[in-house]
Amino acid sequence: MSLSASEIAAVVRELQPLVGSRVDAVRMHAERSLTLELYGRAGAATLLISAEADLTRLHAVERRPPPPPSPFGAQAVLRRELEGARVASLSVQPGDRVVEVGFDAPSGPRRLIAELTGRHGNLLLVGDDGLVQLAAGRNLSHRRELVPGKPYVPPAERAPRAVEDEARRAGACPPPPDASARFPLSAALEERYRAVEEERAALEGRRRLRDPVRAALARARRALEKLADEAARVPAAEEDRRRADLLKQNLHAVRRGAAEARLTEWTAEGPREVAVALDPALSARDNMERYYRRYRRIAESAARVASRAAEVRGREAELRALLDALDAAPLDQLPRLEREARRLGAAPRPPPRPRARRDEPLPPYRLFRSIGEAPILVGRNAEANDALTVKVARGNDLWLHARGLPGSHVVVKLDKGKSPDGETLLDAAHLAVHFSDGRNEAQVEVVATRAKYVRKVKGAVPGAVTYSQERTILLRVERQRVERLLASEEEPV
């Protein structure tokens, strides 16, 4: 949604009191959007100029847009050239959407030309020699070369019919919501675009959350399929028990080295002969035990499979409900829904933090967050384990390691006198297993103690320590928990 030429002309007329103001600050909020902090006879004012596609506009604002994650390179040039300058003029090309702000700057006259023409819009800084000093965005014009060092060429004059058609589509300017406002038309436009930007932010926020929730739903469906395959093995386990019982009753009749035994089974219908496959390398008793072991392994897993399937189905139902809630969630509800997605292990990855300079060494650890947002530090390698445990960890911090396995030291940062909650302890234990040689095991022992009870072994290889006052956790690995934790990784600062 962009302003029409007639709307822009009306705003320029309203903002004439800003001519003569001093530029106190220039801030870029997007590649082709900036604000000028002005002070003059009209008092303090903030002028927003945006050539962003579908949001091209010009008006005074009461609320400055948020800063970008990292500054744009053009901002430094604009600050150098315009801060401290005076606004000498504010004009618009008749019948077009090209606004020119003239400045009396210490380095000479400057012009900020805002081509508010939708998809091809741009912000250009032009010197007193008529050459382009800066183009905020990439030049998208096929007829004009709007790049630094080239003369600025204004767009061709628009045909009268095009101007009339645009005015008819745009309609009249919105009525001022507050006639007492210093710039009523700007106030109305700010309110109009605030609603548009909120809706766009809500759309983007819903999309950002929806994708990982859908991926989590797909993982849940795959998990249920695998669990169904495991459940289907239970009837076969009953056959193993039946064969073991037959062997037990007929151990004396089984010839050693045989690959098969034909045994009589007594049923309600009478006797029948059953062929039982054997391992010729094993005795009759060992073959029987082999069938019993296989039966017990599958039978014991049946309860676990049923419990796990119920858990996954419950999680799948919660994810579906979350996905339905996302479809129409307003902007102010998205943080709550993101916390819910994080609880279910379906939150998007946090945006990466700016990386440290290349000449600055990486911290000796990777940083993850528990479901309760507690920081969990994981050593990067053996040497980093020493640095993490000896130099980074404090006495009260929780220290964990996979028992008897090479792997990373894990530290949970805790305030003095505090203990980790159960979920944080499980999260840290899962990371200790994942970053060890036991990552592919279903069940691993993890030791946990306070960092003050961990000692470096003098003269030992990197990462070797002794510890005391430990507790041992027999951890049954939850793959979904591991996936959530890996998705929570942040750049350490």
pLDDT in tens, 431-470: 999 999 998 888 999 999 999 999 988 888 888 999 999 9
- Residue with the bigger pLDDT between 142 and 279: it is 279
Burial 411-433 (b: 16+ CB within 10 A, else e): bbbbeeeeebeeebbbbbbbbbb
Q: Is the pLDDT of residue 281 over 70?
A: yes
Q: Per the domain annotation, does 191 fall within a domain?
A: no
Q: Any residues with CB less than 8 A from the CB of 249 and at least 6 apart, and which?
A: 263
Long-range contacts formed by 282-286: CB under 8 A, 24+ apart: 283/256, 284/247, 284/251, 284/254, 284/256, 285/251
Is the same domain home to 330 and 213? yes
**Helix intervals (H) in 88-132:** none
Q: Is the pLDDT of residue 369 over 60?
A: yes
Is the same domain home to 119 and 263? no
Is the same domain home to 388 and 434? yes
Is the same domain home to 307 and 433? no
CA dihedral 46, 106, 91, 131 (to 10 degrees): -120
Which CATH number do you get for residue 117? Answer: 2.30.310.10
Is the same domain home to 369 and 322? no
Q: Do the strands 443-450 and 471-476 form a parallel or antiparallel pair, or are they unpaired?
A: antiparallel
Distance from C-alpha of 238 to C-alpha of 293, rounded to nearest angstrom: 12
Q: Is the pLDDT of residue 163 over 60?
A: no
For the stretch 253-266, pLDDT in tens is 888 888 988 888 88
DSSP count for the chain of H helices, then E strands: 10, 19
* Sign for the pseudo-dihedral over CA of 136, 138, 142, 146: positive
Is the same domain home to 129 and 252? no
Q: Per the domain annotation, does 154 fall within a domain?
A: yes
Distance from C-alpha of 186 to C-alpha of 109, rounded to nearest angstrom: 27
Write down the pLDDT at residue 237.
75
CA dihedral 86, 115, 45, 127 (to 10 degrees): -20
Domain housing 94: 5-173
Q: Per the domain annotation, does 437 fall within a domain?
A: yes
Average pLDDT rounded to a whole number, residues 104-123:
91
- Which of 348, 379, 409 is a domain's end point? 348
Average pLDDT rounded to a whole number, residues 344-369:
73
Is the same domain home to 308 and 369? no
Write down the pLDDT at residue 172.
44
For the stretch 347-359, pLDDT in tens is 887 665 555 555 5
**Helix intervals (H) in 376-445:** 382-387, 422-434
Average pLDDT rounded to a whole number, residues 216-243:
82
Is the same domain home to 150 and 292? no
Burial 68-89 (b: 16+ CB within 10 A, else e): eeeebebbebbeebbbebebee
Is the same domain home to 344 and 414? no
Average pLDDT rounded to a whole number, residues 147-171:
69
Average pLDDT rounded to a whole number, residues 168-181:
55
Q: Is the pLDDT of residue 472 over 90?
A: yes
Average pLDDT rounded to a whole number, residues 207-216:
91
By mean pLDDT, which of 195-199, 232-236, 259-263, 281-285 is the weakest? Answer: 232-236
Which of 293-302, 305-314, 349-358, 381-390 holds the top average pLDDT? 381-390
Distances from the Cα of 438 to the Cαs of 429, 444, 480, in angstroms?
A: 12, 7, 17
Distance from C-alpha of 206 to C-alpha of 337, rounded to nearest angstrom: 9
- Residue with the bigger pLDDT between 412 and 53: it is 412
Q: Per the domain annotation, does 117 fall within a domain?
A: yes
Q: Is the pLDDT of residue 207 over 60?
A: yes
Q: Which residue has the tokens 């710039």?
A: 183
Mean pLDDT over the full length of the chain? 86
Q: Which amino acid is at 285?
A: R
Q: Per the domain annotation, does 189 fall within a domain?
A: no
Structure tokens at 442: 């279903």
Q: Per the domain annotation, does 111 fall within a domain?
A: yes
How many structural domains does the chain have?
3
Is the same domain home to 441 and 380? yes
Is the same domain home to 440 and 311? no
For residue 84, name the pLDDT band (cuts at 50, 70, 90): very high
158: exposed, middle or buried (C-beta count within 10 Å: 0-12, 13-18, 19+)? Answer: middle
Distance from C-alpha of 217 to C-alpha of 207, rounded to nearest angstrom: 15
Structure tokens at 116: 């508010």
For residue 378, name the pLDDT band (cuts at 50, 70, 90): very high
Is the same domain home to 59 and 156? yes
For residue 171, name the pLDDT band (cuts at 50, 70, 90): very low
